[in-house]
Amino acid sequence: MRLKGLDILLTYKCTASCAHCCYRAGPGQGDTMTLAEVEGYLTAVADQPLEGILLFGGEPFLCYDLLRTSIPLAAQLAYVYVFTNGYWATDPDTARQRLAGLQEAGLDYILFSVDAFHQAHVPLERIAIGIEAARELGYDRIVIDNRYLGVPDADNSFNRCTQDNMARLAGLCDLTSVEVYQGPARMVGRADDELSSYLPTQSTLPAECTLPDYLGSDLRAPTGVEIHPGGWVDLCAGLALGNARQRSLDEILANYDPQAHPIIRLLAREGPPGLLRLAQRHGYAPAGGYVDGCHMCYEARRFLHPYYPDHLAPAHPYLSQ
């Protein structure tokens, strides 16, 4: 496997318990990487053709010292960016201090989450304070990420809330040159529990599994992985290639073989419907429809997790919390 992107989840701990979170991050989660683990992962991918490294969580500012120390290590290999919910921007001085510390470490790309899900937990005013602080410090890229329920123009209360939040934010701070990304919330993890019932089920679902584009789109030749606290190396959340505490990360990547992985092999050949059929052979009874292929795949994987604990891991995304 040749990596263009590496996503490092520094922690599952978060100030929020967002309804759409595929990792089920939240205040009660304590799993956090050590600096030695981060150093080891970065050393293992030093010969990869990396273009970007994402440091996130959970909420990475909750392990600020680890985040700050990890940035210059990652910056030796690729462009580094950090994803945050902005809870820490309680006032301008605090925001500048936090962001200046990361900037001194080598960061110039910061992403803030703004949508109905995050703003249920984080005041929008803090996002405005964080954006203004990043602008004053001269950050090269300031990005807002919106997650929508379904497509962005779907008319539902969550999307209307997100649109209202963006309109309010434009009145609170200068969004000139701030980039905005829009994408759907995937029905994985907590989103399956809390949001899937708001979307219509589909009568025809895709026969192929398409990875998110940031992972390379193709199960047969993915170009990205995410590493979880606890060492699990995943494609999608809960779809493990191995554990870097048991085998080195460079070995896991070098030996990637979709045909040798019972879940990926089936997904590559038959897509989510094939995984659903496997779950049914183990006794799974479909609950009444799926909103898309990712939803079907996750539901099947969640049921199959006890049967394939080393391939559907970590358990974290599958357990209601």
Map out the domains of the chain with their CATH numbers.
1-186 (3.20.20.70)
Burial class for 260, CB neighbours closer than 10 Å (0-12, 13-18, 19+):
exposed
Residues 83-115 have pLDDT tens digits of 999 999 999 999 999 999 999 999 999 999 999
Among 285, 267, 283, smallest CA distance to 275 is for 267
The single-letter code of the amino acid at 47 is D
Task: Give the whole-angstrom CA distance, residue 70 versus residue 82.
Answer: 11
Q: For residue 74, give the H/E element and its range.
A: helix 64-75
Mean pLDDT of 246-259: 96
Q: Quickly tell me which residue has 């919330």 as its tokens.
A: 185
**Joined tokens for residue 237:** 């959340």
Percent of the chain scoring above 90 in pLDDT: 91
What whole-number distance in Å separates Cα of residue 302 and Cα of residue 22? 12
Read off the pLDDT band of 321 (50, 70, 90): low
**pTM to 2 decimals?**
0.96
Q: What is the pLDDT of residue 206?
A: 81
Where does the pLDDT of residue 212 fall: very low under 50, low under 70, confident under 90, or very high at 90 and above?
A: confident
pLDDT of residue 210: 81
Using 50, 70 and 90 to split pLDDT, how confident is the model at 305? very high
302 token code pair: 């969640």
Amino acid letter at 111? L
Give which of 307, 306, 303 is closest to 290, Cα–Cα: 303
Mean pLDDT, residues 152-156 taken together: 93
Largest CA distance in the chain: 58
- Tally Cβ neighbours within 10 Å of residue 10: 28
Cα distance between residue 83 and residue 65, in whole Å: 16
Q: What is the mean pLDDT of residues 40-65?
A: 98
Residue 258 CA neighbour count, 13 Å, CB half = 16
Best CA proximity match to 188, nearest among 13, 2, 25, 14: 25
Enumerate residues 6+ apart whose C-beta is below 8 A from 2. Answer: 48, 49, 223
**DSSP 8-state class, residue 1:** -
Cβ–Cβ < 8 Å for 279, 270: no
Give the distance from CA 103 to its chain's centroid: 23
**Phi, psi angles (nearest 5°) of residue 25:** -70, 160
Q: How far is it, in rounded angstroms, from Cα 288 to Cα 300?
A: 13
How high does pLDDT run on average in the chain? 96
What is the 8-class DSSP label of residue 311?
T
Q: What is the pLDDT of residue 168?
A: 98
